[in-house]
Structure 1
Amino acid sequence: MKKLVFVLALSLGSLTAFAQDTEEVQAEATEVVTAQDDFSEIAAEELPEAVTAAVSKNYPTAKIDKAYVNEEKQYKLEVSLEDGTSGTLYADENGNWIEM
């Protein structure tokens, strides 16, 4: 009986420690997402020519719905295609695609 109580106590303690670690990881992940989203909305007309040319070349049916820029002159573009699909693209000021 003592062994059973001991095993139950260890199990409960392990689950509690795991729950605390999970909460810490979730909080850290939220902070990372917030830190990466330092983009300010701009008008599509304010995009550099190199960025609009890259969109036209690589996605000829795309329409730029919204555009954003950050301090490093990286651009976040929300685009939609003629077939109804949409997505987000990231480019530098020279029109090179980047991963975020």
Structure 2
Amino acid sequence: MKKLILSAAIVLGSLSMQAGNTIVINSVPQSVNVQDEYKEIDAVPAAIKTALDNAYPGVKLEKAYVNEKKEYKIEITVRGEKSTVYTDASGNILKK
């Protein structure tokens, strides 16, 4: 009887030793955001100023940038809250 219990323990022990650690390699895709380079400018076209005044009463222009596609990135302050607005040369708001 002792031999039966001992051999059962050995068999069960050897089965549990067969299970090994599996290594899982997570592959994370690397992505690069391509953003058009914006260059800081001193003055924005009058159409943009008018559009911003109409859209945001009491707006204050902090900084303005332009890229090669003539898209403008405007940093504004409205009632003490800072935000960034993207427009085209005609003053159409592209993204708030």
Once residues 87 and 51 of structure 2 are traced to their aligned partners in structure 1, the CA distance between those partners, rounded to angstroms, is: 9
Once residues 61 and 85 of structure 1 are traced to their aligned partners in structure 2, the CA distance between those partners, rounded to angstroms, is: 11
Matched, 1:85 2:84: no
Once residues 81 and 94 of structure 1 are traced to their aligned partners in structure 2, the CA distance between those partners, rounded to angstroms, is: 21
Matched, 1:61 2:58: yes
* Structure 1: segments with no counterpart, 5+ residues: none
Q: Equivalent residue for 2:13?
A: none
- What TM-score do the two structures reach when normalised by structure 1? 0.72
The alpha carbon displacement at 1:99 in A equals 2.8
Tell which structure's C-alpha radius of gyration is larger. 2
4+ residue stretches of structure 1 with deviation over 2 A?
Answer: none
Q: Counterpart amino acid of 2:57? A: P
Q: Equivalent residue for 1:42?
A: 41
The alpha carbon displacement at 1:61 in A equals 1.3
- What TM-score do the two structures reach when normalised by structure 2? 0.75
Q: Equivalent residue for 2:93?
A: 97
% of aligned pairs identical? 34
Once residues 37 and 86 of structure 2 are traced to their aligned partners in structure 1, the CA distance between those partners, rounded to angstroms, is: 13
Q: Counterpart amino acid of 2:46? A: E
* Structure 2: segments with no counterpart, 5+ residues: 1-16
Q: Can you list the C-alpha shifts for 1:31-59, whole angstroms capped at 9, x where unaligned?
A: 31xx214100001xx21111111100000
Once residues 87 and 68 of structure 1 are traced to their aligned partners in structure 2, the CA distance between those partners, rounded to angstroms, is: 14
